Amino acid sequence: MSDKKSLGFDTLQIHAGAAPDPATGARQTPIYQTTAFVFKDAEHAARLFNLQEVGYIYSRLTNPTVSVLAERVATLEGGVGAVCCSSGHAAQIMALFPLMGPGCNVVASTRLYGGTVTQLSQSIKRFGWSAKFVDFDDLDAVAAAIDDNTRAVFCESIANPGGYITDLSAVAKVADKAGLPLIVDNTSATPYLCNPIKHGATLVVHSTTKYLTGNGTVTGGVVVDAGTFDWSASGKFPSLSEPEPAYHGLNFHEALGGMAFTFHSIAIGLRDLGMTMNPQGAFYTLLGIETLSLRMQKHVANAVEVANWLEKDPRVTKVTYAGLPSSPYHGRVSKICPRGAGALFTFGVKGGYDACVKLVDSLDLFSHVANLGDTRSLVIHSASTTHRQLSDEQRAAAGAYPDTVRLSIGIEDAKDLIADLDQALAKATA
Ligand SMILES: *Cc1c(COP(=O)(O)O)cnc(C)c1O
């Protein structure tokens, strides 16, 4: 893949990172189901361990199937490198790991996936890290939350579940001014709808469990590095910019330049945290990505049609989809995600909590699951499930109200989805 810059998204989603297998000529990327790789000789082994030569050692670190996926996602996101992980949540920890230390904090948006709010507000405290949550529409508040111990700014491009779009360029400016990397979770948008790096993001994280794989088969995550951040400028990122004792004193930024974060994440992050993606999982995700653009077009077209229908229905109290002109975030679609506002949104049902529960139980085609980004349409009552561990204020900030149901619109026929919602609304509001 010599001249990647001239190739379009649809070509890259099939070809980036992949070549016919050098050993067999296999056209599809093989599943290299092996733990270890034979060294040519002792000198070769030493060069690999010294990062003087790139190659395969042990599949906790790198694996050829997983490497194809890393390069494919890095290419689609416009980054220089990527590291695949065992889940989206693993990717978030892996993104923060090289940047943070005890006493450090991350400034995060209040509008995040429920599990991420819990991870950042509770579990990372065990590492001595912390998070400060602010409304990312209030740029002054974001700037004010940043202190000497802040090491990153974290948000989602399209935030799940509240139909919210972050003004990434504006937030990137704030992070940039403070000399901090912006980490963007691009799971709900995918690189087809949004490229956070173009808006100034340093790192992009994904739960590949969702649209990238696309059919609800495997759990995975990835961190993509833009390769543009100067890790040495502020002295705040010593693990990247100073001799790292955990890797025989290597200065990653000096030795590896724009690939410092990616190599650090593999050589130290995967080596010591072990949140590795397995080759089978990577293979399924590669298959999924081949059709990403086609699926996203249909996901978005269906979401627009269903959201429009719901908005006109008198049994429905509100629809929060940024693809609707009525959304306060509609104006950001053309700037942040010009191909569409994704396929996740919430709506309110007349009758509140009880009607929502009845609706969820009455749907046939929509599956009641804690997942999103499947070919199948999915429904969940966020307040009682994915956002259950949160406080009332955290739930309200995320848009997970008790009288609100979240839909992840699949790629079925829109008319069938509407018919299913119609009959369930009838039962829920009877
Ligand atoms: C699902 C999800 C995650 C977590 O990913 P897992 O693969 O389930 O660990 C993080 N962020 C967003 C936006 C998600 O939808």
In the chain, what are the domain boundaries?
32-288, 292-428
Atom of ligand 1 nearest to the CA of 220: 7
- State the burial class of residue 20 (Cβ atoms within 10 Å of its Cβ: 0-12, 13-18, 19+): exposed
Q: What is the mean pLDDT of residues 164-173?
A: 98
CA 118 to ligand 1 center in whole angstroms: 12
Pick the CATH number of 32-288 from 2.40.240.20, 2.30.30.40, 3.50.30.40, 3.40.640.10: 3.40.640.10
What percent of the chain has a predicted confidence (pLDDT) above 90?
A: 90
Residue 3 pLDDT grade (very low, low, confident, very high; cuts 50, 70, 90): low
- What per-residue confidence (pLDDT) applies to 162? 73
Interval 370-394: pLDDT, tens: 899 999 999 998 887 877 777 888 8
CA 88 to ligand 1 center in whole angstroms: 5
Angle between helices 114-121 and 88-96 (to 10 degrees): 40
Q: Nearest Cα to 382, choosing from 372, 157, 374, 373?
A: 372
Task: Classify domain 292-428 by CATH number.
Answer: 3.90.1150.10
- State the burial class of residue 258 (Cβ atoms within 10 Å of its Cβ: 0-12, 13-18, 19+): middle
Residue 302 pLDDT grade (very low, low, confident, very high; cuts 50, 70, 90): very high
Interval 97-110: pLDDT, tens: 999 999 999 999 99
- What per-residue confidence (pLDDT) applies to 351? 93
The answer to whether the CB of 131 falls within 8 A of the CB of 99 is no
What percent of the chain has a predicted confidence (pLDDT) above 70?
A: 99
- What per-residue confidence (pLDDT) applies to 26? 97
CA 113 to ligand 1 center in whole angstroms: 7
Beta-strand relationship, 164-165 and 158-159:
antiparallel
- What per-residue confidence (pLDDT) applies to 4? 65
Residues with a CB atom less than 6 Å from ligand 1: 87-89, 113, 115-116, 156, 160, 185, 187-188, 207, 209-210, 219, 221, 372
Q: What is the mean pLDDT of residues 302-324?
A: 97
